[in-house]
Chain A
Amino acid sequence: MNRLNPKYIPSAATALVMIALYVLGCVLFPNFISLRVIVNLFGDNAFLGIAAVGATFVILSGGIDLSVGAVIAFIGIFIATTISSGVPPLVAILLALLVGTLFGAAQGSLIRFFDLPPFLVTLGGMFLMRGLAFVVRQESLAIKHSFYQQTIRGLSIQLAPRIAIPFTAICLIAVVLVATYVCVYTRFGRNVYAIGSSETSAFLMGVPVGGTKIGIYALAGFFSALAGCVSTFYMQSGNPASFVGLELDAIAAVVIGGTLLTGGVGFVAGTLMGVLILGLIQTLITFQGNLNTWWTKIAIGVLLLLFIVLQKTISGKGRT
């Protein structure tokens, strides 16, 4: 363990916690050792996972995005309304992705050109999107289109009789793979890490800080919109009042996944593990049956505390 690079320790701890939780589930509940549990874990948490991947980029750069939950709700009701007014689903989805990306780019531009704190800008973005979601439609709307009821449901991979990987889970896995590639192998990804480590140093080295920042928030907006699309696949409806506080879960997943909130250190794969840990806690509490839902929140809080203190010990006292 001595030779382990310190930047891998949080992720290693995350992996250990994830495995421990899974083993705990298997020991406590015989039904837990089922492929179905794993498949559902991915399928049920797909939109959270995709949103958390977007949040990973923002947090890696040292910023924060509070607008995630509101954007997902807006995109959900946007897609539902446009499809019900006769627009082909694929066009609606493409439009939604475009809207999300543009919204993210707008937030990024405000942060870039006016030196505004990301916290306040994305807070404004959250209020705006939540309000606009209700402007689009006041109550939830089911999506009744053959594309949703047959095509999407058909796009699953059959593993065993009655167990299939749903399309939402496939989306999540694809997003994680693409995001990992972008993070590790592209210039943009390396710039994100550079900005997160030290914006001044990155600027002095010639990293295009401004453009990258706008790109980061545009990408986060895109992922939020994609999470919104996936949520409509999962729910088969859009609801302007849904996903309140999802951004907190996303940030928690990113932190539990080993990304430093100060920026510069972290992995997309870690975020996936963080999301799976949140999902496992929820599944465990559902399996247990006697425990109330509020224990989920308390458990997440305790895990957050453990990981933040762990990060603090590793990164040393010099960093505040």
Chain B
Amino acid sequence: MLSFSIILFWVVFAALLFFTRKLRIFWPLLALALLLLFNQLLTPGFFKLELREGHLYGTLIDILKHGGIVMLVALGMTLVIATGGVDLSVGAVIAVAGAVLAQAVAVHNLSPGVAMLIAVLVSVGLGAWNGLLVAGIGIQPIVATLILMVAGRGIAQLISEGQVINFTDPTLVFIANGYLFGLPFTCTLVLVLLALTYALTRGTALGLFIEAVGDNDVASRYAGVNSRFVKFTAYVFAGFCAGLAGLVAASEIKSADANHAGLYAELDAILAVVIGGTALTGGRFYLLGSIVGALLIQTLTTTMYARNVSADIAPVPKAIVVLAVCLLQSEKARRYLSKLFPRKNMATPAPKFEAAS
């Protein structure tokens, strides 16, 4: 039964790869497949799933559960990067959202619903601040969001008064630790946000506007796109996503830790977006790609834990992935490659890249 489900999993995955072979998402999916295959063959117990009280448990489920934060942040980051910008402040926003949440519940005794609302609203406000600096004043995105990246953690510590605030409210604990439909609740959260983002960007013209602004800001303005508003919206949305991630991050450890919550989340999210096929120069975006990218990062991390690699050394393989992804996306690297292996590679992968881009 168990082995049958694993075979089914691989058949489905292979079919998925086959049908996406001409799409941009093929490469991150392939990387994910290779990493999973490596685990299938060499990490015992990696694919073991258990059904307890209607909930699924196992390493694969852990990946979905712990990858939630990066997936949520990556969705917002995708839109920001698509406009040609970047948001470095999401990690700090996660810390602020967590601090607000914990402070509201534990100190001011507000109901969990109100606390969550306030935390998300504050995050949206911080996103609007970034949007104001970038779209309103016209400051370079890296610089504009650097301000909040530096000051944000200070603000989070100010809100939580330098304490790690614990809370036990069952509703809040449920966000990251609860189960819905047999899967962790974070999966539902990510899926809902993904569907919402997809509907908003691909169901309306907003996605096209975002790509137009990212591709050529000036040209899009001449074409009648309100590029400032589009950029502003993207940063507000990134703030919103980071706020949700902040709720998950705080719920995961049942407390708000202003120093460590969301540390390096911005870098992981940017990495996930780039792995997913969205170029840092903007102009095109792939929401599903970003999700796959986030899953890849989390699978890599989980693989290392499962294989007893020390958490401290974990950045090394990550660095290799960053560089590999960069090289894979670089036009020049592909050209060098096709020079190195003249005929065959010119014939096979080159058109694939062409079709993908």
Contacts and interface: CB of A to CB of B under 8 A. Distances in A.
Contacts of A293: 157, 162
Contacts of A252: 146, 150
A120 B274 contact: yes
Given A294-B158, A298-B151, A298-B154, A120 B313 contact: no
Interface string B265-300: 001001100100000110000000000000000000
B146 to A, nearest CB: 7
A288 interface: no
Contact of B316 (A64, A131, A320): A131
Contacts of A312: 137-139
B331 interface: yes
Candidate in A119, A121, A138, A262 with the most chain B CB atoms within 10 angstroms: A119
A130 B264 CA distance: 13
B150 A292 contact: no
Given A125-B319, A134-B313, A116 B147 contact: no
A125 B146 CA distance: 19
A240 B312 contact: yes
Contacts of B144: 308
Interface in A102-152: 110, 113-117, 119-121, 123-128, 130-132, 134-135, 138
Interface in B317-339: 317-320, 322-323, 326-327, 330-333, 336
Interface in B148-195: 148-155, 157-158, 162
Contact of A292 (B162, B314, B317, B326): B162
Interface string A302-320: 1011001100100001001
Contact of B315 (A130, A298, A308): A130
Contacts of B154: 294-298, 301
A261 B145 CA distance: 13
Contacts of B143: 255, 261, 308
A135 B316 contact: yes
Contacts of B326: 110, 114, 116-117, 120-121, 124
A13 B151 CA distance: 21
A125 B149 CA distance: 20
Contact of A127 (B150, B281, B318, B327): B318
A199 to B, nearest CB: 15
A127 B267 CA distance: 10
Given A127-B318, A261-B140, A116 B330 contact: yes
A297 B156 CA distance: 11
B280 A120 contact: yes
B142 interface: yes
Contacts of A300: 150-151
Contacts of A110: 323, 326
29 contacts: A110-B326, A114-B333, A114-B336, A120-B270, A120-B280, A120-B322, A121-B326, A124-B319, A126-B315, A126-B319, A127-B315, A131-B319, A134-B312, A138-B312, A241-B312, A248-B146, A262-B140, A293-B162, A294-B154, A297-B151, A297-B153, A297-B154, A298-B154, A298-B158, A301-B147, A304-B150, A312-B138, A317-B138, A320-B138
A284 interface: no
B310 interface: yes
A124 B322 contact: yes
A64 B145 CA distance: 15
Contacts of B312: 131, 134, 138, 240-241
Contacts of B146: 248, 251-252, 255, 304
Q: Which residue among B139, B162, B317, B327 has the maximum number of chain A CB atoms within 10 Å of its CB?
A: B139
Nearest to B84: A320
How would you classify the secondary structure of chain A's contact residues: helix, strand, loop or mixed? Answer: helix
Contacts of B320: 124, 128
A218 B16 CA distance: 44
A25 B330 CA distance: 51
B217 interface: yes
A134 B150 contact: no
A135 B316 CA distance: 9
Nearest to B137: A312
9 closest A-B pairs (Cβ-Cβ)? Answer: A301-B151, A297-B154, A131-B316, A128-B319, A131-B315, A124-B322, A134-B312, A294-B157, A127-B319
A295 B157 CA distance: 9
A135 B267 CA distance: 22
Contact of A308 (B86, B139, B274): B139
Contacts of B330: 114-116
Interface in B85-119: 86
B323 A121 contact: yes
Between A114, A119, A128, A309, the greatest number of chain B beta carbons within 10 A of the residue's beta carbon is seen for: A114
A304 B150 CA distance: 9
Nearest to A70: B315
A116 B330 CA distance: 7
A123 B275 CA distance: 14
A49 to B, nearest CB: 18
A308 B332 CA distance: 34
Contact of B150 (A114, A131, A248): A248
A280 B217 CA distance: 41
Query: For A124, A125, A298, A304, which residue has the most chain B Cβ atoms within 10 angstroms?
Result: A124
A147 B319 CA distance: 35
Nearest to B323: A124
Contacts of A309: 137, 139
A152 B284 CA distance: 55
